[in-house]
Amino acid sequence: MNTITVPFYDDELYVVEHNNEPYVPMKPIVEGMGMDWASQYTKIKQRFSTCVVNITMQLPGDKQHRDVVCLALRKLVGWLATINPSRVKASIRDKVIRYQNECDDALYEYWTKGIAVNPRKRSVMEDLNQACAELKRDKQIASVFGTGLNEWKKVKPEHEIKINNLAAQAADLFLDFVWAEIGKGKTTRTE
Higher pLDDT, 39 or 118: 39
Q: What residues make up the domain containing 89?
A: 3-113
**Better-predicted residue by pLDDT, 51 or 34:** 51
Whether residues 11 and 85 fall in one domain: yes
Taken in order 33, 37, 43, 45, the sign of the CA dihedral is: positive
**Do 107 and 44 belong to one domain?**
yes
Tens digits of residue pLDDT in 51-79: 999 999 888 778 888 899 999 988 988 99
21 shares its domain with 85: yes
Work out the percent of the chain whose per-residue pLDDT is above 70. 75
The last residue of one of the domains, among 88, 113, 138, is: 113
What's the pLDDT at 190? Answer: 44
Rounded-to-integer distance, Cα 131 and Cα 164, Å: 10
Q: Are 154 and 142 in contact (CB under 8 A)?
A: no
By CB atoms closer than 10 A (0-12, 13-18, 19+), residue 26 is buried
- Each residue's pLDDT tens digit, 108-152: 888 888 877 766 555 666 777 777 777 777 777 666 666 666 776
Q: What is the pLDDT of residue 8?
A: 67
What pLDDT sits at residue 43? 94
pLDDT in tens, 149-189: 677 677 778 878 877 777 777 767 666 655 555 554 444 44
pTM: 0.57
Distance CA 140, CA 91 (A): 48
Domain-located, residue 187: no
Closest among 17, 138, 5 to 72, alpha carbons compared: 17
CA 81 to chain CA centroid, Å, is: 18
The answer on 173 and 80 residing in a single domain is no
